[in-house]
Structure 1
């Protein structure tokens, strides 16, 4: 099924069949018998032109003239592989995989991409997608987005002077959404890259790209924020630059520039309810992209450092901070440590709050993955944590990212504990039971680790989200391995006192739960 070519209609405010009527602001007063009406009053032009009301606005014409030739249009042709990967989707969908991402977060191709027919049956038709890229070397290396060229059979690069080149995909990284292409050429125009750490909210930013196939289109705005995370896609290693620069279909992969004409980012995504620009755009920082480029050039793949911790993705709450005796809610709260990982060998434990990495402050959990993930395995780092009210620093040597190990550590294991309760309700109103060796093996726990929850009688515990089948691993930082041990740890809990429980649920990973019992519990 071919995507219909959109029709663009210019609507005039007044059609040829209507006559514009100009009404005077004021007319002269005349008596009924005063003869011909007086001419309407008209404003008289001033002798001296008025001064402009707005001055000092930037003029981007020189910037565009100098850097525009290094911005290219990218056309990709896709066959059965890509269409089959999309499955049965409707022709108006904007990009592959968008059925898994909320409507408001979009990564855009250009017009013309064709989807397979209903049900995905039969041979998938060939389709085309369009994006933008830019030259980073005079011998033909081109930077763009991974999602622009993903699974493409053919990639064509068109220069601003309309020269066309067939491009080779040197390498592509889905995690960062960065791809490196190569065309044959020499003495080609090149864009300079900026110092990514110097990008600040409020500075001017310019985008050049091919929205809807309209190549060399220029838009401008300001940097709205830096270090934004993407909660809707697996791109936790990219601290996005947010701007209000107009970005639409076909802008993907194009440069985001500062007023010096240096690249500060690669335009990648927008936040939208409509599928079009709504004032919130996102770009991949250029320093993140160039780190990927260096590895793609050298090895064709990207290696990332791994610390080996699982932490809560949501910010520390006020109640959690009170339960752990923290001075504030900043940092990343560690819920699990991968066995034999860099963090485990260094001595980091569940309940630690990571506050800094190599001297960079960790204000929220999403700050940590980009710092660690953009370093190569073997890098030595200093990790600052808060533990029991004291600041501590651990020296770690990053291992290579193993997604499976972290996923296994953070995932729930099947098999909720069952059997008769072995302890009465405690101060939190939890009726608990000991776990058997078989249950611990099924849950991925060590010997003498964890206590099963059989029933939840306390109101505060229910409101905190605890339910039968959950397993309590720790009270605060103290591991518990039996119902009796849990009862001892909760023996002195008083009403109004916040208690932190590390809990593993059958339907999710481990998490710290803050519970503050009332006086009547």
Structure 2
């Protein structure tokens, strides 16, 4: 868009009237003062509409399968409508009328009855053409489980589609159709250049209404909506409804900067909070789906968590930043390269990272590249090179850190930490369902108002390491706490195993009264 000189002048006059110094106003770029709204989106929309398609997928479901309430509810996606029966009237949630009508509709249309015959379910969504030969991008949840996929073009031409590849983690899918002529395609833009406040267009098929154009702005960037490990959504207020899933989000140059994927809505309709996968994230996955049929993600084989201020204090790291290594996959790239549990990854390929950005950055790195990492270990920054592997289909469970065999079964109270711990005995192993290979000391009591309870520790959790040193007895744990106190650390860092999960938990060591109360009788 071009700056609007008259609006810029008015904005500058308003700033001067409000008391902003003239030098400051004069130094502001025109874009910072004001930008005029487009007179119309008509020409842009007309050029883009032929590249946006309607996608219909059909699946056979058994009589006892529940109706799919796809995209309904507070955090649902913005995708397809499913089912062909009448909608249930809207009654207050949980009311007797709601249950009555739901049961009635299920009886009428066979839902929920084990003796009902199989029936066809249809999902509607959107997609867009990225190659004139007939390559189409959409959301995975639009076509998931489909036995038949049909694509309808803007001119109402209906084509059968073949699935080239799909990826559950980013909710992307690529289809192929064959037409007797080249199709209108659109290009991806640089989504990193999109700024909060930029105008955008969303085109799709909400509620099956093909060729619907809505306009809005980029409301926010980098949204994490807990949909997957690589969440980095663009938020927009351009109205997006059920059926828009898989449709494109365009900038004012007609480039795709996002793929509309989810909405936040208590009612299932648009309330101006929609989410799109950024084009820069989607582009690599789409190319891999076209070439291999699946995504080839970079992977180093670590389990990470964010570095809190307490964790940073316990490691002597200032300021608090980076991604803390809580576990390492056996025989993975990180283990082979020498990365250790308790290390903090500060940078990857020269850029700062944290617990949220590191998985996405590694996943976007080509398999086989040598990743250059900067880590924090033993109070110093160190370089480390880790070859990037390919993300396995199934992640292995993290192994507990090795430790010496327990030499005693004494229990010890640590009142300043708010816990009582014991060596792992046969009785405790059975009581808390610990594996035969589990090492460390088990927490047998947690004070309700103590630091451990505040940080989520529970009876049955196992402390595997303290300050990155493996422990096997309560005395060894106490020794590490005393050492941290002598070093004037505010907290001590414990590696805790809870079932299959491992995590680092910082606990304040307090002053000299933090010493344990001495051995107790074993429980």
Q: Distance between the aligned counterparts of 1:251 and 1:169, measured in 2?
A: 19
Once the two structures are superposed, the pairs formed by residues 328-367 of structure 1 within 5 Å of their partners are: 328-363=319-354, 365-367=355-357
Alpha-carbon contact 1:117-1:124 (below 8 Å) kept = no
Confirm whether residue 218 of structure 1 aligns to residue 222 of structure 2.
no
Q: Counterpart of 1:289?
A: 282
Question: CA-to-partner distance for each residue in 1:450-490, whole Å, 9 max, x for gaps?
Answer: 22223345822333333332111111222223333222212
Confirm whether residue 66 of structure 1 aligns to residue 47 of structure 2.
yes
Q: Counterpart of 2:124?
A: 130
Give the structure-1-normalised TM-score.
0.77
Confirm whether residue 383 of structure 1 aligns to residue 373 of structure 2.
yes
What's the offset of the Cα at 1:251?
0.5
Q: Counterpart of 2:315?
A: 324
Q: Counterpart of 1:470?
A: 461
Alpha-carbon contact 1:292-1:302 (below 8 Å) kept = yes
What's the offset of the Cα at 1:55?
7.6
What's the offset of the Cα at 1:518?
4.9
Q: Distance between the aligned counterparts of 1:119 and 1:376, measured in 2?
A: 49
Consecutive unaligned residues in structure 2, runs of 5 or more:
1-33, 86-108, 515-523
Q: Counterpart of 2:273?
A: 280
Rg larger in structure: 1
Distance 1:496 1:446, change over 3 A: same
Give the structure-2-normalised TM-score.
0.77
Alpha-carbon contact 1:454-1:468 (below 8 Å) kept = yes
Once the two structures are superposed, the pairs formed by residues 444-455 of structure 1 within 5 Å of their partners are: 449-455=439-445
Distance 1:175 1:462, change over 3 A: closer
Number of aligned positions between the proteins:
445
Alpha-carbon contact 2:328-2:399 (below 8 Å) kept = no
Q: Counterpart of 1:103?
A: 74
Q: Counterpart of 2:151?
A: 157
Distance 1:336 1:55, change over 3 A: closer
Q: Distance between the aligned counterparts of 2:411 and 2:82, measured in 1?
A: 65
Q: Counterpart of 2:66?
A: 89
Match 1:428 to one of 390, 397, 417: 417
Show structure 1 runs of 4+ deviating over 4 A: 111-116, 436-440, 442-447, 492-496, 517-521
Q: Distance between the aligned counterparts of 1:104 and 1:145, measured in 2?
A: 16
Computed over aligned residues only, the root mean square deviation of the Cα atoms, in angstroms, reads 3.2
Confirm whether residue 56 of structure 1 aligns to residue 27 of structure 2.
no
Counterpart of 1:208 in 2: which secondary structure?
Answer: strand
Counterpart of 1:265 in 2: which secondary structure?
Answer: strand
Question: CA-to-partner distance for each residue in 1:324-360, whole Å, 9 max, x for gaps?
Answer: 2222333222111112211112222222222222233
What's the offset of the Cα at 1:496?
8.5
Q: Distance between the aligned counterparts of 1:388 and 1:202, measured in 2?
A: 44
Alpha-carbon contact 1:421-1:431 (below 8 Å) kept = no
Consecutive unaligned residues in structure 1, runs of 5 or more:
1-53, 413-417
Match 1:514 to one of 487, 494, 506: 506
Question: CA-to-partner distance for each residue in 1:253-294, whole Å, 9 max, x for gaps?
Answer: 111111100111111111222222222211112233222222
Q: Distance between the aligned counterparts of 1:310 and 1:357, measured in 2?
A: 16
Confirm whether residue 230 of structure 1 aligns to residue 225 of structure 2.
yes
Alpha-carbon contact 2:53-2:127 (below 8 Å) kept = yes
Confirm whether residue 254 of structure 1 aligns to residue 251 of structure 2.
no
Distance 1:496 1:281, change over 3 A: same
